[in-house]
């Protein structure tokens, strides 16, 4: 049991870009168990910084689905789009450290640059940004900014790592990790239409909400290297992480919003009870969050 002074705080942080499916239910239940089994707090955050893809009706429906599933959360739901000043302040602090630069490249420019170079280092999400605007002539940069040329803000990851020095982070499933944020390249931290990015907002918000254990799918494992760097640069508390396995469909593919058959709304409409859906999501009642049921066997 946690002490009152340092309760475990976990969160589920869905993006309202569609309806929830069993993979989301697994992730939410994973975080919920990790907190509740030790008397900790479980929070809900809506990650809706992308106005093109997020919809209020999805937010309303996902809250309804999570409640139906039997989940309870502590305190108010934090909606990221309600807090632009928090993200702006973090961006300003990074700018003050000299580790961000404006990038005027379109997707087409980036593809052309990579084709010209004949190769590009690859990260877990594909080719890395070739760094074109990092070396832009300062006068040219000033002129483009003055002319209001659309741009994104990117992290100069090499400079940032030089300031932060060697970093480590701990994952409950995978152990200690040496942070290697360079594998993601100079990521975008803000755009004109979305004045923050997933990476920046998630790091800042986990700190503001006092999250001590970040539970989320293994698809975000590599992102954590970068989040650890952002924490160091911004002077934020360092939580622990637990990246959980991803549920797959019967073809062994990761569940996605396209797999309609496993949508929580569809299961509800088909007459499933919450306990049955919890079980389908890998949490039959009585299962501990640290267990994983694979083909009928409980794995610790």
Task: Please report, as ranges, the residues that interact with ligand GLU according to CB under 6 A.
Answer: 13-15, 47, 202, 216, 220
Closest separation in Å from C-beta 126 to ligand GLU: 17
Closest separation in Å from C-beta 110 to ligand GLU: 23
H helix runs in 193-248, sequence order: 198-208, 221-234
Closest separation in Å from C-beta 114 to ligand GLU: 26
Closest separation in Å from C-beta 221 to ligand GLU: 11
Closest separation in Å from C-beta 215 to ligand GLU: 8
137 burial level (CB within 10 Å; 0-12, 13-18, 19+): exposed
DSSP 192: S
d(CA 162, CA 9): 31
- Going by C-alpha positions, the residue among 181, 163, 175 that lies closest to residue 227 is 181
For ligand GLU, give the closer residue by CB, 15 or 157.
Answer: 15
Q: Torsions phi, psi of 2, nearest 5?
A: -70, 155
For ligand GLU, give the closer residue by CB, 159 or 209.
Answer: 209
For ligand GLU, give the closer residue by CB, 44 or 202.
Answer: 202
Yes or no: say if 226 and 181 are a contact pair by the CB < 8 Å rule: yes
d(CA 149, CA 141): 10
At a CB cut-off of 8 Å and minimum separation 6, what does 288 contact? 33, 37
Strand, coil or helix: what is 57? helix
For ligand GLU, give the closer residue by CB, 47 or 59.
Answer: 47
For ligand GLU, give the closer residue by CB, 110 or 224.
Answer: 224
At a CB cut-off of 8 Å and minimum separation 6, what does 114 contact? 120, 127, 130
Closest separation in Å from C-beta 214 to ligand GLU: 6
For ligand GLU, give the closer residue by CB, 11 or 154.
Answer: 11
């Amino acid at each position: 049991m946690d002490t009152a002074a340092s309760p475990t705080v976990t969160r589920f942080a869905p993006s309202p870009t569609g309806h929830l499916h069993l993979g989301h239910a697994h992730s939410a239940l994973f975080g919920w168990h990790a907190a509740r089994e030790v008397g900790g707090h479980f929070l809900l955050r809506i990650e809706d910084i992308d106005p093109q893809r997020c919809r209020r009706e999805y937010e309303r429906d996902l809250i309804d689905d999570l409640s139906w599933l039997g989940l309870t959360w502590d305190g108010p739901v934090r909606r990221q789009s309600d807090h632009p000043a928090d993200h702006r302040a973090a961006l300003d602090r990074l700018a003050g450290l000299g580790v961000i630069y404006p990038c005027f490249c379109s997707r087409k420019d980036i593809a052309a640059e990579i084709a010209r170079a004949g190769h590009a280092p690859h990260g877990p999400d594909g080719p890395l940004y070739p760094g074109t605007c990092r070396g832009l002539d300062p006068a040219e940069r000033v002129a483009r900014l003055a002319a209001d040329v659309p741009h994104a803000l990117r992290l100069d990851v090499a400079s940032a790592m030089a300031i932060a020095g060697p970093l480590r982070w701990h994952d409950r499933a995978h152990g200690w990790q040496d942070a290697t944020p360079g594998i993601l390249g100079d990521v975008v931290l803000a755009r004109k239409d979305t004045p923050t990015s997933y990476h920046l907002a998630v790091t800042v918000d986990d700190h503001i909400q006092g999250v001590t254990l970040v539970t989320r799918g293994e698809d975000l494992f590599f992102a954590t290297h970068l989040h650890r760097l952002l924490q160091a640069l911004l002077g934020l508390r360092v939580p622990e992480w637990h990246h959980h396995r991803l549920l797959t469909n019967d073809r062994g593919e990761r569940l996605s919003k396209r797999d309609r058959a496993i949508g929580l709304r569809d299961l509800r409409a088909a007459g499933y009870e919450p306990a049955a859906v919890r079980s389908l999501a890998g949490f039959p009642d009585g299962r501990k969050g640290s267990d994983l049921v694979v083909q009928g066997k409980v794995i610790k």
